[in-house]
Amino acid sequence: MTEREYRTPCFIIDEEKLLRDFNMLKDSLEASWNHYRIGYSFKTNSLPWLVTFLKARGVMAEVVSDDEYALARWLGFADGEIIYNGPVKERASFEQALLAGGIVNLDGQRELDWLEELCGAHPDRRFLVGIRVNFNLESLCPGETTMGEEGGRFGFSYENGAFARVVERLRRTEGIEIAGLHLHSSSKSRSVDIFRAIAAMACRLKREFDLDLSYVDLGGGYCGGLPGRPQYPDYFPAVAGVLREEFTPERTALIVEPGISLLSSATTFVTQVLDVRDIGDRRYLITDGSRFQIDPTMIKSSYLFHLELDPSGPKERPEMERQCVSGYSCMEVDRLFELENGPELMAGDRIVYENVGGYTMSLSPLFIQYFPDVYVRREGELKKVRERWTPREYVQNCMLYQEEI
């Protein structure tokens, strides 16, 4: 299928761009810290094609729920190729991962209890675990973190002594080895300084607690593919410079868990104008895309996009001061942006949103319309890698009302 033959709305992933960004990640890790693992963040976008594309390149699965763990297994990751994070792990998959030598980063008291009981049940085994660290990143990078002064809620707090108590508790139990630290922290800035501060925290913890670590996991949260913003080759030399104070690549692997930075520049969302209407003195463009599909958390104030005018439409398009681009849903908030001083758009014209790979396909609700088609562009041809959902998929696992029980 070629361009314009496909049905909108749809996501298109450009394989060449995806590969370029992936190689940029690999090459910069290789150059800065040649002992590394990449764990792809499933929650960012767990489209099966995408996940298996990355798996074919040696990437591990980074998962934060039992469902994601099961999806990783379904898609062919062995237990040892999974990084199991987050506070809502389930006990069975937690034990399965540890018994198989997967990477498990502890996040909560109940996991400590599970771990001790697992050790009791397998006195002949050694279990390698990581600890998710919660630390005051905001004080090191003022104004840059997502939660600001309030701080994040994940992991064990360094400042209030919870981290120290966990280290002590794990050291008391025979058969447990503290193999790694997990320092994922979300930031608004995604700056290189954030990652320098994270690396410095790893060094500080190693010194203070005399840890012998086989990995330092920086987590995700990188920028990628945005002009004027940092790229992989900016982060890893800076991180390596800090880590080398306390660590060597021979002894300690660097783990990274990229999500959005890997996918965004490769992914577009193609929508089409369905209807043009004037209400009072305002012009509305009703499109077949929705804000729910590319900004499900309703936080974006602007979008990267380009227009593709319908080649069969009029050649001359007068400029219009304002056109309100809105979505298909019946909610008034479903307005994407004001197109200012643009060509007057008509039904059939396309608005193509750029940089929409992360937190879109996975987070979009099944609201009014179901999941749209996803295509991959390979050598100019489009291949469908997810068929749009229909009522058939929607009703799966549902029971219908029956008068008789």
Active site residues: 330
CB atoms within 10 A of CB 307: 14
Q: Considering the rule CB under 6 A, would residue 85 count as an interface residue with ligand PLP?
A: yes
Residue 230 near ligand PLP by CB under 6 A? no
Instruction: Tell me the C-alpha distance between 142 and 128, whole Å.
Output: 34
Residue 184 within binding range of ligand PLP, rule CB under 6 A:
yes
- The residue from 141, 260, 294, 376 that contacts ligand PLP (CB under 6 A) is 260
Return left, alpha or beta for 90; rule: phi > 0 is left, psi -120 to 50 is alpha, else beta: beta
CA 113 from centroid of its chain's CA atoms = 29
- Give the three-class secondary structure for 184: coil
Site for ligand PLP contains 358 (CB under 6 A) = yes
Residue 219: CB minimum distance to ligand PLP, A:
4
Counting DSSP H helices and E strands in the chain, the numbers are: 12, 18
Residue facing ligand PLP at closest CB distance: 259
Q: 137 or 345, CB closer to ligand PLP?
A: 137
Q: Give percent helix, percent strand, percent coil of the chain, each to the nearest 5.
A: 30, 25, 45
Q: Does 258 bind ligand PLP (CB under 6 A)?
A: yes
Q: How far is the CB of 328 from ligand PLP (least distance, A)?
A: 27
Residue 362 corresponds to which tokens in the numbers above?
Answer: 């996975």
The sign of the CA dihedral 374, 263, 77, 57 is positive
Stretch that binds ligand PLP, among 50-58, 172-180, 217-225, 247-255 (CB under 6 A): 217-225
**x-or-dash string of contact with ligand PLP, 57-76, rule CB under 6 A:** -----x-x------------
Distances (CA, A) of 46 to 215, 251, 292, 386: 25, 32, 17, 12
Exactly one of 68, 107, 116, 257 binds ligand PLP (CB under 6 A); that residue is 257
Told to check if 32 binds ligand PLP by CB under 6 A, we report no
Least distance (Å) between residue 215 CB and ligand PLP: 14
Name beta bridge partners: 15.
none
Instruction: Write down the least CB distance from residue 358 to ligand PLP, Å.
Output: 5
Chain residues that interact with ligand PLP, rule: CB under 6 A:
41, 43-44, 62, 64, 85, 184, 219-222, 257-261, 358
